[in-house]
Structure 1
Amino acid sequence: MKMRIGLAVMALVTAGLAPAQEPAPPSAVAAGWTISFSWSPEFCKRNLGSKELQCLQEHYFVLSGLAPRFEGLAPACQDDSLPRELLPRALDVMHNEVRLKKAWRTQGACSGLGAAEYVLQLERAQRRVSMPDLFRQTPREGLQLPQDEFRKALLRDNPGLRADAVALQCRGDWLESIDVCVDGGFGFQACPAPQRSDCPDRLRLRPIRPILRSGQGD
């Protein structure tokens, strides 16, 4: 009996001396996202000869990035490349393999999500913003309109979208891309202060090129 008591006491003492196990830190969850759309005619104009899908077919706004925003410490970036089996699905929304791989490497791999989860978020981002048909109607010399009119059309076609949730990026007078800021649940929210527009009061959109054939009968 004394031996049993002694063993029990030793077990308790040993347990007390053992270092306490630290609880596993919770997975980082993005507090918000920045959804980026490039004006495809501008990209293709500046990348003549590009064989990317967005330049071989007729496109106007193309999803070009989905960057997470964190409050506090962001998760470590993964080293893995985007699995090839996910490429066809992801290219359905991004239409540019080089940009897709860069988005995964610099944004998705640092989001705390796995590759399949990130592609799911890309699909969600692409559906979240509707681009007005007005922007499709670009004459041969391009479309020129006040920035306010451009923004109003965007807000009109996206109920709940706020003016401060949109940042326009230009090169000179020519529109290059649009950033739309959303919260973790993909509700529209104001963009962070550094993420401001750099477009003039009147901006220009390059015309959409006619559909180009890829030689594969599509």
Structure 2
Amino acid sequence: MRKLALALALICATAAPARAEGDRAGDFDYYVMALSWSSNWCALQGDARRDPQCDRGRGVPFVLHGLWPQYERGWPSDCRTTAADPSRSDTAAVADLFGGAGAAFYQWKKHGRCSGLSARAYYALARQAFESITISPIFPRITQDLKVPASVIEGAFLEANPGLRADQITVTCRAGMIQEVRLCLTPDLTPRRCGADVIRDCTLQDAELNAVR
């Protein structure tokens, strides 16, 4: 019996080898651009880290959490790439976009390497993606903590971006708070329908939205 179990284990190992080296860079279907509501991220994580993003007076409503290569279902990770990591000056140049240079470098390591681009080109594309979306002027004017339906946040983006459809955007929540607005984009940054595993709208009617700091 022990010999049989060992033989079966060897057969299975041969039939389904582990992918130890990760996914191939540049092999993906579309991007998910995640915009994080900065004040809520600070309340959940940033304040405990004493992250500079959370300093009062910055006046930042959304920061770019990431521009993530995505499959129609699932996403690549630990991608193999010959692209060099970004320099300190490269990450410093996008600190305003990601909320900090450390966050920018982390996003390159986790997601940017899967884009098939150089670090500088990935950061440039991330800024282009962020600037392609209009953020309603109502968001920077939120000066007190609110409780709102998550659908109101999505509606504000749809109103500010007339070409955007409801199946191209989703709002996520965490711990009763608005967490992120996620938009699905083709590799050339045209809005497209989100994959089935991305469209998971928050349905809270009283999600917390903390005041802009």
The TM-score normalised by the length of structure 2 is: 0.75
The answer as to whether partners of 2:39 and 2:61 remain within 8 angstroms in 1 is yes
Q: Which residue of structure 1 aligns with residue 66 of structure 2?
A: 65
Q: Which residue of structure 1 aligns with residue 182 of structure 2?
A: 179
> 1:50 and 1:97 mapped to 2: Cα distance?
15
**Unpaired stretches in structure 2, ≥5 consecutive residues:** 1-24
Residue 95 (1) aligns with residue 99 (2): yes
Q: Deviations over 1:35-70 (max 9, x none)?
A: 011110011112215454422322111011001135
Which residue of the other structure, out of 29, 32, 47, is the alignment partner of 2:30?
A: 32
Q: How many residues in Structure 1 have an aligned counterpart in Structure 2? A: 182
Indicate the percent of aligned positions where both proteins have the same amino acid: 25
The answer as to whether partners of 2:158 and 2:166 remain within 8 angstroms in 1 is yes
* TM-fit CA distance, 1:133: 2.0
Q: Which residue of structure 2 aligns with residue 54 of structure 1?
A: 53
Letter of the structure 1 residue corresponding to residue 47 of structure 2: L
Match runs of 1:5-44 below 5 Å: 28=26, 30-44=28-42
Match runs of 1:154-169 below 5 Å: 154-169=157-172
Which residue of the other structure, out of 133, 144, 147, is the alignment partner of 1:144?
A: 147
> 1:192 and 1:84 mapped to 2: Cα distance?
34
The answer as to whether partners of 2:143 and 2:211 remain within 8 angstroms in 1 is yes
> 2:199 and 2:184 mapped to 1: Cα distance?
11
Distance 1:61 1:78, change over 3 A: same
> 1:187 and 1:146 mapped to 2: Cα distance?
27
Greater Rg over alpha carbons, structure: 1
Q: Which residue of structure 2 aligns with residue 130 of structure 1?
A: 134
**Unpaired stretches in structure 1, ≥5 consecutive residues:** 1-26, 210-218
